[in-house]
């Protein structure tokens, strides 16, 4: 590590976050998660420790871990280092041992009272240990409970596998290990800790994040008699000494950061958070420029990817290699969220947004987009339930900036607690909109261009592609289609969306079988002919020069054409002629 603490992550680097329970590690993990694609983040590793082998994660190999760039979980410094093919960059955050123990007790007690799911015997054991109050919790003789309430921070950071170590030796090992960690934070100085983290790696600074997995209705040191506090203190003598050492280490590094920022930007730095934020933003811009990221005119971005920006909650949804992934991020907790992209500046660009949810219709209606602080009008392209697609045009002038990136800023007029948006949720995070995907490409790129980015149309679905190929082979430029919203990108000048009333003069109607109940089949039988069918779609047309599909197992009974009398056929020919 450089003497000034900065580190430039390389593609082969691994970050390894040792998450000591009840130290704000879940919140810090969510912040670091933002900097990596989901495929680079290892599923949480739990209890990798030889001191409780019955709960250790099984069948984990260096080959499995080598592909990840970020590993995190409740595990010990040793043996995790034995599982890794190379030494990672270690991170952790510590907490005052007395506060940490009380917080753990409150968390476990609340979970038991609420009847939250018990993931394993270990969880049940710890929750049951709270039945007799904090003093009884501390007196519980079970070795697994003792391991979590008696010097756990020292043991997780300093335990050695061979032989019995004295307390002094374990403490010395933990201190020596902390010195080698690229980042050590303190829960009691969480914002300062996050600032230091951002400085080290040159990440975009943030002061907006949600505190996750925090116990409510919690007791504090002030609520407890001294006799109980004395029991907690006695059980954590090593942790108190380690915390004192970590506090000095952190303060020294934080002071180093302030001195470096002051020297680099020729500005005196106090411990005022807004001032530190402003200097860290300059630091981020400088580190971003150092990377010399090529400017691009096309971006297909979903929230499986790493983000550079602020005002976003942790990822939600299914995004681990599942077909039709719906990984999203809610904006919040403030009304402003940003993303930085290395956009080219030579041409006008088109932007499309896919939003899967909103705190309320009014919040969605208040959505505004700014590019480098220039307002970009948005037009709603489609809506299916809560899912909406919006489009805007980014003029070339808005892309010009002295910064080494283009900043997109999304604003809403308010945020609401998620548990008010979704009544079944207990999550109280303040949220605005849930954004799933962003696409940016040149305005003049045609849908027929092989590089065109489709936000809606599922190019990986064979039945959709087959229906589109049939349409493309037969449709005329002047003809109109009624079809699902996804076809809009293929036929933007011709599409008319589904509605209950199909009296519109459309030459083509594309029926998704799953949506056919919204369409009157009698209308189809009287005025159009089925000309195509597969497992998903039936296509009808008024055209008489396209062969009618008389027999197909893919046409549902309610859409099949009845036998027509000769007179009815003559009427249809006359109607087609006059059209």
Q: What is the DSSP string of 235-263?
A: TTHHHHHHHHHHHHHHHHHHHHHHHHHHH
* Residue 390 CB partners (closer than 8 Å, separation 6+): 352, 353, 355, 367, 378, 379, 380, 381
Question: 455 with 352: CB under 8 angstroms?
Answer: yes
| Segment holding 33, helix H or strand E | helix 25-33
Torsion, CA 213, CA 217, CA 218, CA 220, rounded to 10: 140
Domain 302-442 annotated CATH 2.60.120: yes
Question: 200 with 206: CB under 8 angstroms?
Answer: no
Distance CA 213, CA 68 (A): 25
Per-residue CA distances from 39 to 13, 30, 35, 151, 354 (Å) = 15, 15, 12, 34, 22
Distance CA 70, CA 29 (A): 10
- Tell me the domain boundaries of the chain: 15-96+143-212+219-285, 302-442, 462-578
Query: pLDDT tens digit string along 519-536?
Result: 776 666 667 889 999 999
DSSP 98-113: HHHHHHHHHHHHHHHH
Distance CA 329, CA 324 (A): 16
Instruction: Report pLDDT for 202.
Output: 97
Distance CA 312, CA 326 (A): 16
Distance CA 539, CA 532 (A): 5
| Segment holding 299, helix H or strand E | strand 299-302
Instruction: Report pLDDT for 319.
Output: 45
Other C-beta atoms lying within 10 Å of the C-beta of residue 152: 24
* Residue 162 CB partners (closer than 8 Å, separation 6+): none
Question: 542 with 527: CB under 8 angstroms?
Answer: yes
Q: What is the DSSP letter of 558?
A: G
* Residue 160 CB partners (closer than 8 Å, separation 6+): 78, 169, 170, 173
| Segment holding 55, helix H or strand E | none
Instruction: Report pLDDT for 575.
Output: 53
Residue 244 tokens, joined: 């004192």
Question: The pTM is what?
Answer: 0.84
Give me the residues of the chain with pLDDT under 50, please.
1-2, 48-58, 319-324, 565-567, 570, 574, 577-579
């Amino acid at each position: 590590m450089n003497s000034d603490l900065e580190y430039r992550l390389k593609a082969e680097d691994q970050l390894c976050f040792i998450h000591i329970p009840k130290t704000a590690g879940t919140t810090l993990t969510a912040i670091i998660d933002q900097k990596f694609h989901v495929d680079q983040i290892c599923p949480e590793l739990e209890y990798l420790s030889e001191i409780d082998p019955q709960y250790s994660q099984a069948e984990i190999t260096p080959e499995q871990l080598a592909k990840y760039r970020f590993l995190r979980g409740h595990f010990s410094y040793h043996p995790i280092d034995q599982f890794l093919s190379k030494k990672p960059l270690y991170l952790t955050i510590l907490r005052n041992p007395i506060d940490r123990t009380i917080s753990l007790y409150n968390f476990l007690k609340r979970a038991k009272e609420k009847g939250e799911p018990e993931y394993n015997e270990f969880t049940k054991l710890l929750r049951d240990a709270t039945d007799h109050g904090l003093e009884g919790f501390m007196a519980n003789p079970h070795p697994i409970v003792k391991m979590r309430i008696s010097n756990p921070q020292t043991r997780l950071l300093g335990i050695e596998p061979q032989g019995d170590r004295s307390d002094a030796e374990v403490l010395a090992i933990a201190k020596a290990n902390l010195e080698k960690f690229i980042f050590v934070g303190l829960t009691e100085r969480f914002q300062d800790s996050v600032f230091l983290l951002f400085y080290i790696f040159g990440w975009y600074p943030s002061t907006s994040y949600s505190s996750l997995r925090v116990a409510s209705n919690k007791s504090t040191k002030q609520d407890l008699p001294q006799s109980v506090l004395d029991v907690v203190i006695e059980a954590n003598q090593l942790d108190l000494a380690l915390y004192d050492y970590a506090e000095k280490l952190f303060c020294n590094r934080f002071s180093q950061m302030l001195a470096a920022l002051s020297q680099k930007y020729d500005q005196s730095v106090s411990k005022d958070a807004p001032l530190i934020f402003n200097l860290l933003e300059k630091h981020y811009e400088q580190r971003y420029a150092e990377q010399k990221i090529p400017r691009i005119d096309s971006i297909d971005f979903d929230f499986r990817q790493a983000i550079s920006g602020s005002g976003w909650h942790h990822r939600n949804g299914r995004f681990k290699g599942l077909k039709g992934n719906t990984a999203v991020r809610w904006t919040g907790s403030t009304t402003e969220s940003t993303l930085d992209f290395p956009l080219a500046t030579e041409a006008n660009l088109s932007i499309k947004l896919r939003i899967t949810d909103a705190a309320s219709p009014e919040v969605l209606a208040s959505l505004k987009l700014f590019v480098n602080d220039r307002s970009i009008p948005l037009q709603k392209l489609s809506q299916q339930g809560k899912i909406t697609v919006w489009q805007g045009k980014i003029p070339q002038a808005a892309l010009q900036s002295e910064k080494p990136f283009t900043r997109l800023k999304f604003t809403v007029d308010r945020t609401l607690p998620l548990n008010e948006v979704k009544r079944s949720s207990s999550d109280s995070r303040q949220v605005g909109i849930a954004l799933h995907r962003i696409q940016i490409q040149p305005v003049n790129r045609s849908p027929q261009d092989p590089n065109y980015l489709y936000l809606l149309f599922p190019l990986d679905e064979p039945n959709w592609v087959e229906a589109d190929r049939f349409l493309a082979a037969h449709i005329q430029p002047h003809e109109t289609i009624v079809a699902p919203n996804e076809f809009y990108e293929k036929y933007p000048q011709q599409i008319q969306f589904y509605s209950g009333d199909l009296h519109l003069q459309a030459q083509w109607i594309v029926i998704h079988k799953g949506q056919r109940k919204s369409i009157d089949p009698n209308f189809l039988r009287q005025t159009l002919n089925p000309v195509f069918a597969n497992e998903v779609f039936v296509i009808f047309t008024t055209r008489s020069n396209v062969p009618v599909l008389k027999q197909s197992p893919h046409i549902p009974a309610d859409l099949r054409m009845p036998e027509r009398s000769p007179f009815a056929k003559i009427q249809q020919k006359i109607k087609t002629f006059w059209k």
